[in-house]
């Protein structure tokens, strides 16, 4: 960054200047671009001009118009106007985001959402000053294009365990909480309207209830934006977030119910039970639609082994279709999207390549980030632009009632919920839950959707909605971080999922299920276990390709972890970031005492071992160079000798890497090509040279693109298969035993092989060189 | 369901309640279950657990049943298995799965946590030598994977997973070790260290109901 080189004060000034200039620079064309009117007059002239010239170019004879000189440079804006504008807006949004993080301390105490709204206000203001008509956040754009990526991102990466453990609480808050909020706010506002000034008297009960329904829903976008930055503990995060997602069903039903009947003017008693039924239909229907599409996506991904490139597309398309299909029937699109993401994730992840997985992850993050930014900016712009009708009473009362309703709702519901919960919610928790009930763009869009003819007070509603949104996002959003610190709420624990945890949690699950069975009652663990077994037996077989379907969870997890660690180490270069607390615990420390069995090998003392090791190491350095030309494998690699130097450099890194590797990973000596690994190899380089397995020779492929360790792990250790000693000596902790052994294969010194085996425990010294023929 | 056996009377019930921490209703409920399993005899034997057919698909079935017959899980300091257990011992084992009560002091929570961890430790430490060694870990992983019919090469995966897990655990416990030091096995203190970040007291519980549940006579 050029900014980094400047001294501090000038860099800050530079940043501000940059931002200002940029703002002006983009806003003006944006403003000009956004308004169709200014170009309306120019366009016909231009097109006529174009037409005349175009024709003039082709055939002079057919056109008797004035012949101008052939225009070397043309200006034709109309045809690219729409994509141009969209791209410019997105660019603006992204550059804004970039700018915030350059400003040193701003992002730490102001949440991004606030900053973006401010930017939106500025942009809107500038557009107004320039005199153009500013774009408004059309509800269609919002609901069809901006909202789905955010929800899909949330649903795909939803942490299942905490979500399902707290599902009861979440549902209670989402459904009953939102209902309570809507009726409380709506009812009280009606009362206020009655006693308020004469403007307000005209607003009937139903519009008020509708307004209450719109304003009471906690918004997932705002919650995500704010809670992401405060790193609160998992339980609270999932409670507020889950609530914001699941209350969509309630909002949809109430909105349609009241909107429908607000026109008519009254609600009969028949409509109330119909409303209930509608709620279940909407919620469960949405989930069902999502489920169906999710299973379809999982099934499709089973067959994508040959077309890896479009795998992510299936994930996105099926989810989007789920959302749209749900919207067609006025079912809850959000719940459909969540259900789809949750259902398809485990199966898709088992089927697709590693790169596709990364692609999906990053595309989702990217889209949702862009959407979020755009939403907040547009909110700001719409605030400046939109028609407003300010009414002190109404707005202030709305604000107050929102807060009061939220607090009362949370406290009341928690009191009831705590009777059924094992982990009770403390007062601190309740406060955070209540405080985290942010409103956002969904409320605004729903308000915007109201048809003005049925709702003459729409402008006032919009003003009130915007005020509440601003209040919650700015005041609550900015103060929640200091409050969390002040109240010393438990923060998120940055624990990496370790293999130990996985083993223990599986064990615990089985244990608790077993105890429940002994007790004789079908509790929550029992059903979870039944679902897992059903999943394993039937569903996985259909939806997961090949051998992966039978892979037990523990092993899959282990592979995933190995892969992750390997990639991590390669990425950090191995050398630079060896942590100070690097553990020198290695396999030999934990080996159980060996039973004394007959070994063909003499017992070596430690000193001799060291000597032998040193000798071998120096020899190997020489032999590698010698063997390079006549080892069976390197014969093929000869044409690539130039790349050998690259290899040497990388070997340096690898040497450092294995030091750390040896502490974390073990190489199962008999480990065959597990489907995961082979797929990872295949997919990462379709042109990888796959050697035919020759008898007695380890198969080696080197894919320079992917980290070395997984391949090394793949190498079938032919030698170890042959020797029975394998059991006695425990696990060979080396990464590249096969390579070194392969060197010795050509010499076929049995003794040396055995020596290598007994020296395989890595001491503090790096192990012998690896021989890695460079194959494309 | 032959009600000939009267079960513990109210005084005994109250004693048991104080000792194990269950409510009287829960104890009565569990007593009914005990009668059902033991066919109204005084004691429960290992064979009686065969009646719980749901356990058949559980990979750690054997260890769960053993846990009931393991003297280490009773209040005394003895070790070793027993052949049959009475209701009080049954309850004692079950009491390890009590949920947290609403108002518990810090010490109560700490002691409950220790109790639960001790139970887990006993389950892992199959050979009852007071340490969890690599062998125990391997048995554990083998059991967890045992239900999987597919594993042809299971031994390699099992050992590698167990080793990785043990390595990780030891790294947490010991940090630095010289190459020649040998780590015998995890003692209970070490075991507690591993579980430090995880709130086992909330995870390891079974909801014992107060009202009568419909028993499925198996």
Q: Which of A166, A427, A495, A504 to mutate to test the interface with B (most CBs of B within 10 A)?
A: A504
CA A556 – CA A674 distance, rounded (Å): 10
pLDDT, one tens digit per residue, over A204-231 is 788 888 889 999 888 888 888 888 888 8
Question: Where is A410: in which H helix or E strand?
Answer: helix A392-417
pLDDT digits 0-9 by tens, B152-209: 445 667 777 777 777 777 777 776 666 666 667 777 787 777 777 677 777 777 776 6
Cβ-contact A713, A601 below 8 angstroms: no
Considering A45-54, A157-166, A408-417, A488-497, the range whose residues carry the highest mean pLDDT is A408-417
Check if A728 contacts B (Cβ < 8 Å). no
How many beta carbons lie within 10 A of that of residue B202, not counting itself? 14
Q: Is A168 on the interface with B (CB under 8 A)?
A: no
Residue A473 has pLDDT above 80, yes or no: yes
Which is more confident, A61 or B44?
Answer: B44
Chain B interface includes A690 (CB < 8 A): no
Residues B75 and B110 in one domain: no
| Chain B residues within an 8 Å CB radius of A583 | 171, 174-177
CB pairs under 8 A between A and B: 187
Q: How far is CA B141 from CA A126, A367, B60, in A?
A: 65, 41, 10
pLDDT for A714 equals 37
Is B163 close to A763, i.e. CB distance below 8 A? Answer: no
Which residue is it, tokens 């494309």? A776
B46 and B71 belong to one structural domain: yes
B84 forms beta bridges with B45
Is B112 found in the same domain as B94?
A: no
Q: Name the residue range of residue B71's domain.
A: 10-101
Distance from CA of A545 to the nearest CA of B (A): 15
Going by C-alpha positions, the residue among A298, A338, A305, A353 that lies closest to residue A535 is A298
User: Do B146 and B185 sit in the same domain of this protein?
Assistant: yes
Number of compact structural domains in chain B: 2
Domain boundary among B73, B101, B129: B101
Same domain, B25 and B72: yes
Task: Give a yes or no: residue B131 inside a domain.
Answer: yes
Do residues B24 and B63 share a domain? yes
Over 70: is that where the pLDDT of A7 sits?
no
Asked if residue A674 has pLDDT above 70, the reply is: no
In chain B, residues with a C-beta closer than 8 Å to the C-beta of A540 are none
Coil vs helix vs strand at B85? strand
Residue B152's domain is classified under what CATH number? 1.10.238.10
What's the pLDDT band for B58 if we cut at 50, 70, 90? Answer: confident
Could you give the percent of chain A with pLDDT greater than 70?
64
Note whether B155 contacts A: Cβ–Cβ < 8 A: yes
Residues B93 and B119 in one domain: no
Interface membership of B11 toward A (CB under 8 Å): no
Residue A571 buriedness (CB in 10 A; 0-12 / 13-18 / 19+): exposed
Same domain, B23 and B49: yes
Using CA coordinates, name the residue in chain A closest to B38. Answer: A518
Q: Assess if residue B218 is contained within a domain.
A: no
The CA distance from A214 to A250, in Å, is 10
- B171 within some domain: yes
The partner residue sitting opposite B61, judged by closest CB among A514, A554, A664, is A514
Q: Tell me, what's the pLDDT at A590?
A: 58
| A231-235, A403-407, A555-559: range with highest mean pLDDT | A403-407
User: Model pTM?
Assistant: 0.69
Chain A interface test: which of B164, B184, B190, B216 (most A C-beta within 10 Å): B164
Determine, yes or no, domain membership for B79. yes
Q: Is the Cβ of B58 closer than 8 Å to some Cβ of chain A? A: yes
B60/A507 touch (CB, cutoff 8 Å), yes or no: yes
**C-beta atoms of A592 and B134 within 8 A:** yes
Q: Which residues of A touch B215 (CB under 8 A)?
A: 520
Average of per-residue pLDDT across B140-156: 64
Residue B213 lies in a domain: no
The ipTM is: 0.86
| Judgement on whether residues B95 and B138 belong to the same structural domain of the protein | no
Q: Indicate whether B40 and B78 sit together in one domain.
A: yes
Whole-angstrom Cα distance, residue B10 to residue B14? 6
- Give domain status of residue B113, yes or no: yes
Interface with B, mutate which of A548, A607, A668 (most B CBs under 10 A): A668
Closest partner CB to B161 (pick from A554, A590, A606) = A554
Partner A, chain B 160-189, Cβ-Cβ below 8 Å: 160-161, 163-171, 174-183
Q: Identify the residue among A164, A429, A507, A553 best suited for mutation to test binding to B, counting B beta carbons within 10 A and taking the highest.
A: A507
**Domain presence at residue B199:** no
Residues B30, B48, single domain; the answer is: yes
Q: B119 and B58 in one domain?
A: no
Find residue A232's DSSP bridge partners. A491
What is the pLDDT confidence band of residue A551, given thresholds at 50, 70 and 90? low
Does the residue B135 lie in any domain? yes
Nearest CA in chain A to B215: A520
Domain boundary among B79, B101, B123: B101
């Amino acid at each position: 960054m050029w900014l980094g080189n400047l001294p501090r004060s000038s860099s800050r000034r530079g940043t501000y200047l940059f931002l200002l200039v940029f703002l002006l620079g983009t806003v003006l064309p944006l403003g000009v671009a956004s308004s169709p009117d200014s170009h309306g007059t120019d366009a016909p002239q231009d097109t006529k001009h174009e037409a005349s010239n175009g024709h003039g170019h082709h055939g002079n004879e057919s056109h008797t118009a004035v012949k101008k000189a052939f225009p070397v440079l043309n200006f034709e804006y109309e045809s690219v106007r729409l994509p141009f504008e969209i791209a410019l807006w997105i660019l603006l949004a992204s550059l804004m985001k970039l700018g915030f993080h350059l400003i040193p301390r701003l992002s730490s105490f102001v949440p991004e959402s606030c900053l973006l709204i401010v930017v939106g206000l500025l942009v809107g203001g500038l557009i107004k000053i320039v005199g153009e008509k500013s774009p408004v956040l059309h509800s269609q754009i919002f609901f069809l294009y901006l909202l789905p990526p955010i929800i899909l991102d949330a649903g795909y990466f939803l942490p299942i365990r905490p979500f399902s453990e707290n599902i009861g609480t979440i549902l209670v808050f989402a459904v009953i909480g939102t209902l309570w909020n809507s009726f409380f706010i709506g009812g009280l506002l009606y009362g206020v309207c009655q006693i308020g000034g004469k403007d307000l008297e005209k607003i009937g009960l139903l519009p008020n209830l509708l307004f209450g329904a719109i304003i009471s829903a906690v918004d997932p976008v705002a919650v995500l934006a704010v809670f992401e930055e405060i790193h609160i503990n998992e339980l609270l995060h999932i409670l507020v977030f889950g609530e914001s997602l699941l209350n969509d069903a309630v909002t949809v039903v109430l909105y349609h119910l009241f909107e429908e009947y607000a026109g008519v003017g009254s609600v009969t008693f028949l409509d109330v039970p119909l409303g209930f039924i509608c709620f279940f239909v909407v919620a469960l229907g949405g989930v069902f639609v999502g489920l169906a599409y999710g299973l379809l996506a999982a099934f499709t991904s089973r067959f994508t082994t040959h077309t890896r490139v479009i795998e992510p597309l299936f994930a996105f398309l099926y989810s989007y279709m789920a959302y749209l299909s749900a919207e067609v029937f006025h079912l809850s699109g959000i719940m459909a999207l969540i259900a789809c993401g949750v259902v398809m994730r485990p199966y898709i992840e088992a089927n697709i390549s590693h790169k596709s997985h990364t692609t999906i992850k990053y595309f989702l993050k990217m889209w949702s980030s862009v959407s979020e930014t755009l939403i907040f900016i547009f909110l700001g712009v719409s605030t400046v632009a939109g028609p407003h009708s300010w009414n002190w009473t109404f707005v202030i009362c709305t604000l107050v009632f929102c807060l009061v309703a939220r607090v009362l709702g949370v406290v009341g519901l928690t009191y009831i919920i705590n009777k059924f919960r094992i982990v009770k919610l403390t007062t601190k928790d309740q406060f955070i839950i209540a405080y985290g009930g942010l409103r956002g763009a969904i409320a605004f869009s729903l308000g915007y959707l109201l048809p003005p003819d049925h709702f003459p007070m729409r402008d006032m509603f919009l003003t009130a909605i915007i005020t509440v949104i601003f209040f919650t996002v700015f005041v609550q959003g900015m103060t929640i971080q200091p409050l969390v610190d002040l109240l010393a709420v438990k923060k998120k624990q940055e624990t990496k999922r370790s293999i130990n945890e996985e083993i223990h949690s599986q064990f615990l699950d089985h244990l608790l299920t077993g105890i429940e069975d002994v007790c004789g009652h079908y509790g929550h663990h029992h059903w979870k276990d039944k679902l897992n077994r059903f999943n394993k037996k039937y569903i996985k077989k259909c939806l997961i390709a090949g051998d992966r379907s039978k892979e037990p969870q523990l092993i899959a997890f282990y592979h995933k972890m190995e892969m992750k660690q390997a990639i991590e180490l390669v990425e950090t270069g191995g050398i630079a970031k060896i942590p100070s607390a690097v553990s020198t615990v290695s396999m030999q420390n934990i080996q159980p005492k060996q039973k004394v069995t007959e070994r063909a090998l003499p017992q070596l003392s430690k000193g001799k071992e060291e000597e032998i090791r040193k000798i071998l190491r120096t020899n190997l350095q020489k032999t590698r160079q010698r063997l390079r030309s006549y080892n069976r494998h390197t014969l093929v690699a000869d044409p690539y000798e130039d790349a050998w130097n690259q290899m040497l450099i990388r070997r340096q890194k690898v040497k450092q890497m294995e030091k750390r590797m040896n502490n974390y990973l073990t190489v199962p000596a008999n480990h065959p090509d597990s489907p995961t690994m082979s797929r990872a190899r295949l997919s990462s380089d379709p042109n990888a040279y796959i050697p035919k397995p020759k008898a007695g020779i380890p198969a080696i492929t080197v894919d320079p693109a992917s980290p070395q360790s997984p391949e090394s792990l793949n190498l079938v250790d032919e030698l170890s298969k042959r020797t029975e000693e394998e059991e006695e000596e425990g696990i060979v902790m080396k990464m590249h035993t096969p390579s070194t052994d392969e060197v010795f294969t050509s010499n076929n010194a049995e003794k040396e092989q055995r020596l290598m085996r007994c020296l395989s425990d890595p001491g503090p010294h790096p192990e012998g060189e690896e021989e890695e023929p460079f194959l494309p | 369901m032959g009600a000939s056996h009267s079960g513990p009377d109210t005084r005994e019930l109250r004693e048991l309640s104080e000792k194990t921490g269950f409510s009287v209703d829960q104890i009565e409920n569990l007593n009914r279950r005990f009668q059902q399993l033991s066919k109204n005899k005084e004691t429960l034997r290992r064979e009686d657990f065969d009646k719980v057919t749901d356990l058949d698909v559980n990979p750690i079935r054997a260890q769960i049943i053993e846990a009931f017959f393991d003297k280490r899980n009773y209040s005394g300091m003895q070790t070793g298995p027993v052949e049959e257990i009475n209701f009080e011992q049954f309850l004692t084992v079950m009491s390890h799965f009590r949920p947290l009560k609403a108002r518990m002091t810090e010490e109560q929570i700490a002691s409950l946590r220790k109790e639960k961890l001790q139970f887990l430790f006993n389950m892992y430490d199959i050979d009852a030598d007071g340490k969890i060694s690599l062998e125990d870990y391997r048995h554990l992983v083998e059991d967890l994977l045992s239900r999987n019919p597919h594993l042809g090469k299971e031994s390699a995966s099992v050992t590698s997973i167990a080793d990785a897990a043990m390595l990780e655990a030891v790294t947490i416990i010991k940090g630095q070790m010289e190459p020649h030091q040998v780590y015998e096995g995890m003692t209970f203190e070490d075991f507690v260290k591993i579980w430090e970040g995880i709130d086992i007291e909330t995870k390891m519980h079974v909801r014992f109901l107060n009202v009568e549940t419909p028993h499925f006579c198996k």
